[in-house]
Amino acid sequence: MELTFPNLLLENVRKYGSKKDAIREKDFGIWMSYTYTEYLEQVRLFALGLASLGFKRGDKTAIIGDNRPQLYWSMVATECLGGVPVPLFQDAIEDEMHYVLNHSETKFAVAEDQEQTDKLLGLRDRCPHLEIIIYEDPRGMGDYKQPFLKSFAQVQDLGRKFAADHEGYFEEELGKGKKDDLAVICYTSGTTGKPKGVMLSHWNIITTAQNAVKAEGLNDTEEVMAYLPMAWIGDFIFSVAQAYCAGFTANCPESTATVLSDMRDIGPTYLFCPPRIWENILTDVMIKMEDADWLKRKLFHFFVDLGTRVAIRKMNHESVSPGLRFLYRLGEFFVYGPLKDHLGLKNVRVAYTAGEAIGPEIFEFFRGLGINLKQVYGMTESSALVSIHKDDSIKSDTVGPPLPEVEIKITDDREVLYRSPGVFLGYYKNPEATAETLEDGWVHSGDAGFVDKDGHLKIIDRAKDVSTLSTGTIFAPKYIENKLKFCPYIKEAVAIGMDKPYVVAFINIDQGAVGNWAERRSIPYTSYTDIAQKPQVYDLIYNEAVRVNKSLADDEQLQGAQIHRYLILHKELDPDDEEITRTRKIRRRFIAEKYADLIEALYSDRDSVEVKAKVTYEDGRTTSINANLKIREVEVFTDG
C-alpha cells in the first residue's frame, strides 16, 4: 500500500472504525464528534462532489478559514482525487490571497464562512483559474445566488448522486495515489518578498510525522487542539499527519477567541503553541495576579521563582535538595496545579514551542510549573520538523538534537544546513529559488547556529540578521527582542544595531496588559497611541530595558549590545501593513525602510520625533495617525 494520507485514513478506519473519535468540533457551545468511519464518509462524499464539478488530477483546492472538520475533509478529499490542497491564512487581505490563488493556479476554493467567501468573490474576476467557490457555514449566505457558488452540503449531495452513477470511482481514484505525489503546497510567510509555494509530498510529511511519533512516544490516546492557522505546515503536521499516524484525536475550538477556554474542556495531552501564545498566556497570568490580593501575589511569586530554580537545576542535571523538593510539592498544591488546571494544561504530557526563538525566561517559567515544554526546530521546507528536545535532555537555549534520519551540518559562516526525508520537492514554479535553497539534498536554512557538545542544535538568529555593531560586538537582534518580550507589558520589539555604534529599539506595548496596569493606577487614556506615549508607560518600559541590559552585561560577548535608546511605537506592528508576517515574524528590511526617520532620530541627540503613518485595515480601508514619539535613554552596565 502506498504511503499516502488517503491510505492512512483507510488504515485507521480498518483499525478503529466507529470505536474512536477522529476529530471533534465545538459549535454553539456543544462538542460534536466524528469517528474514523464518519470521517471517511464525509471525505468520500465531498471528493465525489468535487468530481461531479469537474475536478481532475493535479487540480488545486484553496482552503481558507478557521480550523473546521469540513476544511480538513476538503484537504483529504482533494488528495483522494490526486489534487493538491493550498491552505491560506484566514486573516490574509485580498492582495495576499490574490497572489497565492493566481500563482498556484487554484481552480476550486473552500471557505469557512461569509467573510472568507466575500474575499474570494471579490477576487474571482482577477483569478482566471478560479472556477468554483464552496462555503462551509451557510449563515448569511441566503441571498448569494451565483451559479459557481456552492455550499459544502450541496457538494456532498452532488457526491451522493455522482456515486450512484459511478460505482467504484472513489476507490479507483484513491488507488492511483503514490507516495511521491504532491500532498500540499504551503506558502511561506514571505519575510523578504513574495511568499514561495513549498511543495511537499505524502512521503515527505508522513515519514517525518512517523519518525516524530516514534521518538516522542505518541499514541492513540493523545488529545490535541487543532487551532493553528491551517496555512502553516505546523498545523498540517500535528492536526493531520501525526493524528493519522498515531491515531489520536484532533479538537477544533469554537473560535480563535475561545481556544484557551475550550482547552479546559478537552484537557489536551499533546500541545503545540508558538512563542507568541506562550507569551500571551504568561501575560494573562501576570495581569490576573496583579489584581489578586497581597497573600496570593506573594505565594505566586515565591513559588514561581522556586519552580524556575528547580526547573533550571533539573535541566542542568543538578541535584535538587530534599528541602526544595518539599517546597516544590507545596507549590504544586497551592500554585502550579491550580494554575495548570485553570489554563487547561493539567493533562499535558508533551508541549512544544517553535516557529521562532522563545525567551529563555518564558521557557523556564513554564518548565517551572511542571509542564514538559520542549523546543522544536523546523521549517516548511523540512515538513515542519528537524530537531526536538528529548525528555531527559532539555536546554532553554537550544532546540534539541536532530530527529531520526535527519542530518545537520554547519557551514563556515555559521549557517545551518539539514538533510532529511522531509526535505521539500522544491518551490512551485520557482526553480531559481529552489536552486538557491536546495543543494544536493541539503537545505540552506538561512539560520545561524551551531551544534553544542551534547549534540543539541542552537539557533542564534537568522543568518542574515546576525551581524556586528560598528564596535565589533556581535549583534543578534532576536536574542535581545526575546529578552524584552519576557515582560508581560511588551508585545513586540525590534532591536536595531547592524553597523551602528550601539543598539536601539522599537517597542510595541501590550495594550491589554498596559491598559489593565494603567486603570489600576487611575491613568486615563483614549487609544493605543495615547497610552503608548504616557510618561508613566515609558517609565514602566524603562525598567524592563534596564533589566535586559543587566542580563546582557553578564555575557562577555554581548555586553556591548545593551540597549541605549528606545521609543514606543504609535501603533502595533501589523501584517496588513506588511511590517510582520502572518506568523508574526519581523520584516526587518521593510521596517528599516518604512521607519528610517525614527531610526535616524534614535541615533541623534533628539528626545522626540514626529510621525505620520498610514494604517491599513483588513477590509482595505486606510487611515492616518499623527503622533509625537518620545525617545528615552537607558542606563547601560559594565557588568551584571
Q: What is the pLDDT of residues 471-480, one digit of tens each?
A: 998 898 988 9
| pLDDT beyond 90 at 373 | yes
Q: What are the extents of the domains in the chain?
A: 5-203, 272-462, 467-633
Distance between CA atoms of 481 and 465, rounded to whole angstroms? 13
Parallel, antiparallel, or unpaired: how do β-strands 426-427 and 415-419 relate? Answer: unpaired
| pLDDT beyond 70 at 191 | no
Q: How many helices (H) and strands (E) does the chain have?
A: 23, 28
**How many angstroms separate the Cα of 109 from the Cα of each of 87, 175, 195, 208, 232?**
9, 24, 19, 28, 17
What is the predicted pLDDT for the residue at 448? Answer: 86
Residue 123 gets the label, from left (phi > 0), alpha (psi -120 to 50) or beta, of alpha
Q: Which band of pLDDT confidence, cut at 50, 70 and 90, is reported for residue 120? A: very high
Architecture of the structural domain at 272-462: 3-Layer(aba) Sandwich (3.40)
Q: pLDDT, tens digit, for every residue of 248-273?
A: 999 999 998 899 899 999 999 999 99
| pLDDT beyond 90 at 583 | no
CB 442 within 8 A of CB 448: no
Distance between CA atoms of 276 and 485, rounded to whole angstroms? 9
Tell me the average pLDDT across 125-129. Answer: 95
Tell me the average pLDDT across 211-233. Answer: 96
Q: Which of 142, 140, 169, 215 has the alpha carbon at shortest distance from 77?
A: 169
* Whether domain 5-203 has CATH 3.40.50.10470: no
Least confident stretch, 205-214, 411-420, 613-622: 613-622
**How many angstroms separate the Cα of 348 from the Cα of each of 216, 235, 271, 282, 351?**
13, 18, 7, 17, 7
Tell me the average pLDDT across 383-393. Answer: 96
What is the predicted pLDDT for the residue at 355? Answer: 74
Largest CA distance in the chain: 80
φ, ψ of residue 224 to 5 degrees: the values are -125, 155
Q: Which band of pLDDT confidence, cut at 50, 70 and 90, is reported for residue 192? A: low
Give me the count of residues in the chain. 640
Distance between CA atoms of 247 and 233, rounded to whole angstroms? 19
| pLDDT beyond 80 at 453 | yes
CB 218 within 8 A of CB 20: no
Q: Which band of pLDDT confidence, cut at 50, 70 and 90, is reported for residue 617? A: low
Distance between CA atoms of 538 and 86, rounded to whole angstroms? 44
Element (H, E) at 105: none
SS3 label, residue 461: strand
What is the predicted pLDDT for the residue at 436? Answer: 95
What is the predicted pLDDT for the residue at 604? Answer: 95
Tell me the average pLDDT across 448-468. Answer: 86
What is the predicted pLDDT for the residue at 577? Answer: 83
The answer for residues whose C-beta is within 8 angstroms of residue 631's C-beta and 6 or more apart is 565, 566, 567, 601, 602, 606, 607, 608, 609
* 467-633 homologous superfamily: ANL, C-terminal domain (3.30.300.30)
The answer for residues whose C-beta is within 8 angstroms of residue 447's C-beta and 6 or more apart is 415, 416, 459, 460, 461, 462, 463
What is the predicted pLDDT for the residue at 23? Answer: 98
Tell me the average pLDDT across 616-627. Answer: 69
Distance between CA atoms of 534 and 546, rounded to whole angstroms? 19
CB 383 within 8 A of CB 186: no
Do the two domains 5-203 and 272-462 of this chain adopt the same fold? yes
Parallel, antiparallel, or unpaired: how do β-strands 503-509 and 490-496 relate? Answer: antiparallel
**Residue 144 burial (C-beta neighbours within 10 Å; 0-12, 13-18, 19+):** middle
Tell me the average pLDDT across 298-302. Answer: 94
Q: pLDDT, tens digit, for every residue of 133-189?
A: 999 999 999 999 999 999 999 999 999 999 999 999 999 999 999 999 999 999 987
Distance between CA atoms of 567 and 493, rounded to whole angstroms? 10
The answer for residues whose C-beta is within 8 angstroms of residue 176's C-beta and 6 or more apart is 57, 82
Q: Which of 110, 68, 398, 80 has the alpha carbon at shortest distance from 235?
A: 68
Q: What percent of the chain lies above the pLDDT cut of 90?
A: 79
Tell me the average pLDDT across 183-207. Answer: 89
**How many angstroms separate the Cα of 358 from the Cα of each of 274, 304, 330, 348, 369?**
8, 18, 28, 19, 17
The answer for residues whose C-beta is within 8 angstroms of residue 92's C-beta and 6 or more apart is 64, 100, 119, 231, 582
Query: Cell 488507488, residue?
Result: 175
φ, ψ of residue 388 to 5 degrees: the values are -145, 140
Tell me the average pLDDT across 63-89. Answer: 97
**pLDDT, mean over the chain:** 93
Q: How many CA atoms does the CB half-sphere of 80 hold within 13 Å?
A: 27
